[in-house]
Structure 1
Amino acid sequence: MKKQVLVYGLFLFLTAVSVSAQKTTWISTTESAPWQTFDIQSNSGTNATQIEIFPNKVLQQIDGFGSCFNELGWTSLNELKPKDRKKIFQELFEPGYGAGFTICRMPIGANDFSRDWYSYDETEGDFGLKNFSIKNDLETLIPFIKSAQKYNPKLQLWASPWSPPSWMKYNKHYALAKVPSVFGTAENGISDNQLGKEGEDMFIQEDAYFKAYAIYFRKFIEAYKKKNITIGMVMPQNEFNSAQWYPSCTWTPGGLSKFLKFLGPEMAKTKTDIFFGTFERPSEQLFKGAYSKEVSSYIKGVGFQWGGKDAVGKIHQEYPQLKIYQSEHECGDGQNSWEYCEYGWDLIKHYFQNGVNAYLYWNTALNEGGVSRWGWKQNSLITVNKKTKTYTYNPEYYMMKHLSHFVKPGAHLIESSSVKTKLDRDDVLFKNKVNLDSNTDNLLAFKNPDSSIVVVIYNPDAADKAITLRSGKTVLNPILKSKSFNTFLIK
């Protein structure tokens, strides 16, 4: 009788493991073999890295993932056949199909990946903005966005300017620096007496200009609304500390705070949120200098990129009521290499571990070489070959897809831990010698609104790696391929 009970118990255990495996999806990507579906094969577990997921230890909510609508993204995709463009937009935006992007960024006027400089009103002294027009965007940004909306009508959008209209700036020029010689023959026509620098307000600090610029934002929101495109949030300035050779404008924290007093009421008229940003320096004091009592009620969040990554954790801790967006994934050098993809993964981990609610890639698509109007070579999710009319999904696309395909808006980051061997894990669980949370390295875990668990793991080693993954009653024993991204969806 005792033997029968043991056999029956073993049967129930094996059945439970089988059911867990059947309810788990495993997708893996290497440089040579992207987006492969695997069965959960078993390893011995003896020397496997032990990973523990804690579904009930819930952290920040996730709003979504996406990229940016830039003019050169649209012109590159226009090199392709219409059927190929449709495939790309379906892959990027249709829910449950491919990347399933849910939130994207766009510029207000020209940015560094525009066809050339423009703003919506370049008429000197037009404080009434009688000549305001989004005519330029009808050729590029609006069809770009509408192509995405066909596959995701609920796509969220936010926007920021790189430069105000040039007549609103002290130097009367869209840029603040000369084009560095390393960027080739690109020119911007700026003279020595028009150069700007970090730590000064290049926007004219007068009420008439503040008021006109705030209305400029509102007119932008309203003009896009007439095209059935809703902009849900704005940030007042891209990289407000950076004097660049492409469209840019430096502000002091005090100058931005003055402008926000005008911008807040105008955005309230259109029910548009305001985030502070984009923030590209490691000093949280730059935020504190602008976050005055007069404007704090207008600011719902903060956008961080580049050097701002070293301030994000401190801001999140001190101002937990504010949402945090990673507003621009670092752009690379146009090589779209696997090595840079690995660096990108480190960025993603850092931002999520420091409280971000959304993660935005930068260039959606570029022609081969990734060169901007002002000579800068950058990475993109998709590379288009103009000669052959073909396209390629780059490594960073699959890195983003490993998250965005599975992690749904409203999900939460959850705590997770890993230790090297089963013996180490036994010490942790039963002898309480070390803290599991201190050993988390190459994984992120999320809990979706439907309670499914998403675990994303990168194996950086030159050899395959055996792991044992535990989430509640589910125990998985896969072997991760060398240098592979892996997502496990546990239902």
Structure 2
Amino acid sequence: MEATWIVTTQDAAWQARDGLTVTAVTGVPDVMVKAGAQQRIEGFGACFNELGWTSLALLDDAGRDAVLRELFAPGVGAGLSLCRMPVGANDFSRDWYSYDETPGDFGLDHFDVGNDLDTLVPFIRAARAQQPGLRLWASPWSPPTWMKTNGHYAGAMPGPASDDVENGLRPEQAGTEGTDMFRLDDAHLRSYAAYFGRFVDAYRQLGIPIEMVMPQNEFNSPQVFPSCTWSPAGLARFLAHLGPEMAARGVEIFLGTLERGDDRLLGDVLADPAAAAYVTGLGVQWEGKKAVGALHRLYPRLRIYQTEQECGDGRNDWRYARYAWTLMRHYLRNGTNAYLYWNISLLDGGRSRWGWTQNSLVVVDPDTRGYRFTYDYQVLKHVAAHVRPGARVLDTWSLAGYDNQLMFANPDGSTVIVAQNDLGEDLPVRYRLGDRMISAVLPADSFNTLVVPPGRTR
């Protein structure tokens, strides 16, 4: 195995470079590894959304296969291995739906995942054809409307910036952060827990195993799209019902997703022993980045997933890719075991059914039926392509001005260094790995992946 150096700049993606040297240690390094390793990496991925599949469906078979191969196939591109999906509609669905919209159907006699057969199921199957070991977890954006106090999928009315968006919500139906929009009587809680079980069972029958669920996406946020607020006390009550349903199926429960910078919102749930007994991990996104370090320290037995990278503005530009790197670096330095991007594919412009324009890994042109991989994809690939499941994050010490990297120890003994040079000029850097010095000159305004095999110096 030879040392590898890959460079991406704004003008050229994923270029192999020469000039990486591995020598004995001489002098003071710019970056060195501290003793001991940090958390174990479980994988990198994104979310299967309906609009991801409808955009890819515009490509011919060869183009779509090429995209999925680049995204998922081991050893080809990013090799994404751990992904998310919605339970029912989310903000990048074609429109609102749930798996049972029959009011009062506590026995779920009308439960049906048929909507997904046109979009999510073929999307996931196509990805699994490229990555047979793909792991999958799921969360809802909204329960069925009849299980909610406002009888509606949304929690907020469209604002001035979204005049052309209609969700039919009346002012008196709007939700409020910190309250429970779910009906917290035992009949509704039992039925909703069974709803999760039916979802897991239905997907298993389709040949798609769900390994883990989270009870609610962004449980503090009433939105114009599918959403549902919960209080920590309400979530704890639900987990007491959800836990046995998932345990009977061997499915894990993570508590999330947390989109606020307050670790107490999860801590108050975990303070309930009946709820905490079923929780094996935590999910954080968006402003949850301000709480992730505290959560890692307070609950070291629980794994942490970064569940949704902040979604951008649909421009898919180099500016945002640089910001995306800061997010990835922050989460992985603060104890997260997995990092997930959001939209896999969208049409050019990235507009959702509810008027939000967002970034994606792939952009499809609806006129030419062509596609391109975005800068965000290249940044994700710089980490995901070479950091294997089971890798350990390495803690580093750096001289001033050399702290812009992540380092990982792979199970095979190789070391992966992912570094950004955000300067307008080239940056020589020396990394010390044990008794070896790794030296490279990072190009101006670039992302770099250095893969160093195990072994002695040359």
CA contact (8 A) 2:259 2:288 kept: yes
Counterpart of 2:425? 463
Q: Residue 236 of structure 1: CA displacement? A: 0.0
Matched residue type, 1:487: T
Paired with 2:85 and 2:21, the residues of 1 have a C-alpha distance of 45
Counterpart of 2:269 in 1: which secondary structure?
A: coil
Give the whole-Å Cα distance in 1 for the aligned partners of 2:273 and 2:439. Answer: 53
* Pick aligned residue for 1:486 from 438, 443, 448: 448
Residue 275 of structure 1 pairs with residue 254 of structure 2: yes
Equivalent residue, structure 1, for 2:274:
294
> What is residue 198 of structure 1 aligned with on the other side?
177
SS at match of 1:85: helix
Distance 1:166 1:378 in 2: 26
Deviation at residue 361 of structure 1 after TM alignment: 0.1
Corresponding residue of 1:145: 124
Which residue matches 1:156?
135
Match runs of 1:66-77 below 5 Å: 66-77=45-56
2:147 aligned partner:
168
Mapped to 1, the partners of 2:28 and 2:300 lie a distance apart of 37
CA contact (8 A) 2:46 2:343 kept: yes
Specify which of 284, 287, 297 is matched with residue 317 of structure 1.
Answer: 297
* Aligned equivalents of 1:29, 1:370: Cα separation in 2: 24
Of 174, 177, 188, the match for 1:209: 188
Q: Aligned to 2:372, which of 392, 400, 407? A: 392
Contact persistence 1:237–1:277 (CA under 8 A): yes
Instruction: State the shift of 1:477 in Å.
Output: 2.2
Say if 2:153 is the partner of 1:180: no
Question: What SS class does the counterpart of residue 112 from structure 1 fall into?
Answer: coil
Contact 2:417/2:450 (CA < 8 Å) preserved in 1?
A: yes
Q: Separation in 1 of the partners of 2:31 and 2:180?
A: 50
Q: Could you tell me which residue of structure 2 aligns to residue 259 of structure 1?
A: 238
SS across alignment from 1:196: coil
Give me the whole-angstrom Cα distance separating, in 1, the residues matched to 2:163 and 2:371.
26
1:184 deviates by 4.1
- The CA distance in 2 between the partners of 1:96 and 1:473, in whole Å, is 29
Distance 1:480 1:48, change over 3 A: farther
**Equivalent position of 2:210 in the other structure:** 231
**Equivalent residue number for residue 359 of structure 2:** 379
Aligned position for 2:317: 337
* Rounded Cα–Cα distance in structure 2 between residues aligned with 1:250 and 1:186: 21
Supply the distance in 2 between the matched residues of 1:110 and 1:228 (Cα, whole angstroms). Answer: 21
Q: Which amino acid aligns with 1:301?
A: G
1:356 lines up with 2:336 in the alignment: yes
CA contact (8 A) 1:105 1:159 kept: yes
Offset at residue 48 of structure 1 (A) = 10
1:472 maps to: 434
Q: CA deviation at 1:250?
A: 0.2
TM-score, normalised by the number of residues in structure 2: 0.96
Equivalent position amino acid for 2:389 in 1: P
Question: CA separation in 2, counterparts of 1:259 and 1:416?
Answer: 41
What letter matches 2:444 in structure 1? S
* Aligned twin of 2:412: 450
Distance in 2 of aligned mates of 1:105 and 1:31:
29
**Shift, 1:49, TM fit:** 7.4
Q: CA RMSD in A?
A: 1.6
Go from structure 1 to structure 2 and tell me whether the alpha carbon gap of 1:243 and 1:47 turns closer, same or farther (over 3 Å shift). Answer: farther
Cα deviation 1:77-117 (Å, max 9, x = unaligned):
01111100000111111111110001000000000000000
- The code of the aligned residue for 1:72 comes to L
Aligned equivalent of 1:18: none
SS in 2 for 1:211: helix
Residue pair 1:48, 1:467 contacting (<8 A) in 2 also: no
Q: Structure 1 regions of 5+ residues with no counterpart?
A: 1-21, 421-438
Q: Which residue of 2 aligns with 1:366?
A: 346
Give the distance between the partners of 1:24 and 1:340, measured in 2 at CA: 30
Tell me, yes or no, if the aligned pair for 2:46 and 2:340 is still in contact at 8 Å: yes
CA contact (8 A) 2:26 2:437 kept: no
* CA distances 1:333-376 after superposition (whole Å, capped 9, x unpaired): 00111111111111111101110000000000000000000000
Letter in 1 for 2:435: K
* Contact persistence 2:3–2:20 (CA under 8 A): no
CA contact (8 A) 2:29 2:437 kept: no
1:252-292, CA deviations, whole angstroms, 9 ceiling, x for partnerless residues?
00000000000000001111000000001111111111111
Cα gap change, 1:49 to 1:475, in 2 (>3 Å)? closer
CA distance in 1, matches of 2:163, 2:309: 24
Among 167, 186, 189, the residue aligned to 2:168: 189
Amino acid at match of 2:197: R
Structure 2: runs of 5 or more not aligned: 454-458
Amino acid of the residue matched to residue 367 of structure 2?
K
Map Cα deviations across residues 219-258 of structure 1 (whole Å, 9 max, x no partner).
0000000000000000000000001000000000000000
Q: Taking structure 1 as reference, are residues 29 and 49 closer, same or farther at Cα in structure 2, changes over 3 Å only?
A: farther
Deviates more, 1:163-172 or 1:410-419: 410-419
Deviation of 1:47 after TM superposition, in Å, equals 12
Q: 1:107 aligns to what?
A: 86
Q: Which amino acid aligns with 2:211?
A: G
